[in-house]
Homo-oligomer: A and B are copies of this chain.
């Protein structure tokens, strides 16, 4: 039976490869939106923050957890909105409005 450690390693490894392969051969213009988009994706940290706050016991933990949730939420919504706006420019015709 394989250990949890190796399972985790497989998962991390494959996730890393997936991330890498997705990005290879991406045109230069997409650098910024992709950076912004992946910034949004690590907003999943909000889920961790919610769990941390959800399981927090002491006020200190609650305080830190609360801060984490606020920051995580900022990451999520801000990241989404920014990416969305940047990518709007890629819709032809609408491109002028963004500016």
Contacts and interface: CB of A to CB of B under 8 A. Distances in A.
Interface of A: 4, 7, 10-11, 14-15, 17-18, 21-22, 25
A14 to B, nearest CB: 3
Nearest to A15: B14
A37 B1 CA distance: 30
Copies in the complex: 2
A14 B7 contact: no
Contacts of A22: 21
Contacts of A11: 7, 10-11, 14
Contacts of A18: 14, 17-18, 21
A22 B18 CA distance: 9
A1 to B, nearest CB: 9
Nearest to A12: B14
A31 to B, nearest CB: 18
Most interface-central of A4, A15, A21 (chain B CB within 10 A): A21
